[in-house]
Amino acid sequence: MQSVKEAGAPAILTVQGLNKSYSSGPILKDISFRISKGEFIVIHGESGSGKSTLLHLLAGFDRADSGKILFGEFDICKMNESQRARFRRDHVGFVFQQFHLLPELTALENVMMPLLFQKVKIKKAKEQAEKYLFYVGLEDRMNHTPEQLSGGQNQRVAIARALIGSAPVIFADEPTGNLDSKNRAEILELLQKINREKSTTIMMVTHSIEERSIADRVIELRDGVIV
C-alpha cells in the first residue's frame, strides 16, 4: 500500500531490476522500487535475506551486477569506485550498527570529519558539529572519546555525523542492533524526529518485527526478493 508521502512526493530514489551475486550465489534478484522524498522506509528481513547488501548498494559502498539505482540525475550503477566515494561524501549519510567512530577522536572531532573531507574550514566545521551534537542531545559530551561514551551516545554521535553534510538521504544499517531496550527506543525516536523535522528521507534495515511499525512503508525481503 502506498504511504501518503509516497503518493504525493517526488521520487528521490528509483531502483530498477537490481541484481547482485557473490561466489556463494545470488543475493538480490530483480529488485525494483521507488522511494519518495521524505519517506521513512524500513527494509525488513531475516539474516541472509539480502537487506544489508541492498542498503550498501544503494549507498554506493558496493556495485550491482546489473540494474539501475537512480538518485536524481545519477545512476550509481554506472559509477566507478572513486565516483561512488564522491557520491557518498556529498549525497549520503550512513549510520552503522558498529558506529564506526575513530577511537582517538572526540565526539566533536568525529562529527567534523565529513566536512573536513569536503575542505570546509575548521572553524565552520566545528560550529556545524557543535550544532548537530546539540540536536542529538550530546552538548555535554562533545569532548569525550568513544570509549568514554555509552553505546547509545556513540550511536547519537554517528547520527550527528550522518546529518552534518545535509544529505537528503540517511541509510541506517541495524542502528539499534548493539543497544539495550532504552537506548533502542531513544535512537528510533531520534530517527523519527529527524525524518519529521528535517524531511530527511530515511532507509533503515532491521530484522526486528517491532521496528517495522515506525515506518511509512516496509520493504520486505526474503531470499533476495521483495515479498
pTM of the model: 0.91
pLDDT for res 53: 95
Task: Identify the CA nearest to 172 among candidates 68, 44, 83.
Answer: 44
pLDDT for res 47: 87
pLDDT for res 72: 81
- Those residues of the chain that have pLDDT short of 70 are 1-8
CB distance 164 to 132 below 8 Å: yes
Place of cell 570509549: 147
DSSP per-residue codes, the chain:
---HHHHHS-EEEEEEEEEEEETTEEEEEEEEEEEETT-EEEEE--TTSSHHHHHHHHTTSS--SEEEEEETTEEGGG--HHHHHHHHHHHEEEE-TT----TTS-HHHHHHHHHHHTT--HHHHHHHHHHHHHHTT-TT-TT--GGGS-HHHHHHHHHHHHHTTT-SEEEEESTTTTS-HHHHHHHHHHHHHHHHHH--EEEEEE--SGGGGG-SEEEEEETTEE-
pLDDT for res 4: 45
Interatomic CA distance for residues 200 and 38, integer angstroms: 5
CATH topology of domain 4-226: Rossmann fold (3.40.50)
As a whole number of Å, the CA-based R_g of the chain is 17
pLDDT for res 138: 97
pLDDT for res 8: 60
Place of cell 526474503: 222
**What angle is formed at CA 205 by the lines to CA 12 and CA 138, rounded to 5 degrees?**
90
Strands 25-36 and 11-22: what pairing?
Answer: antiparallel
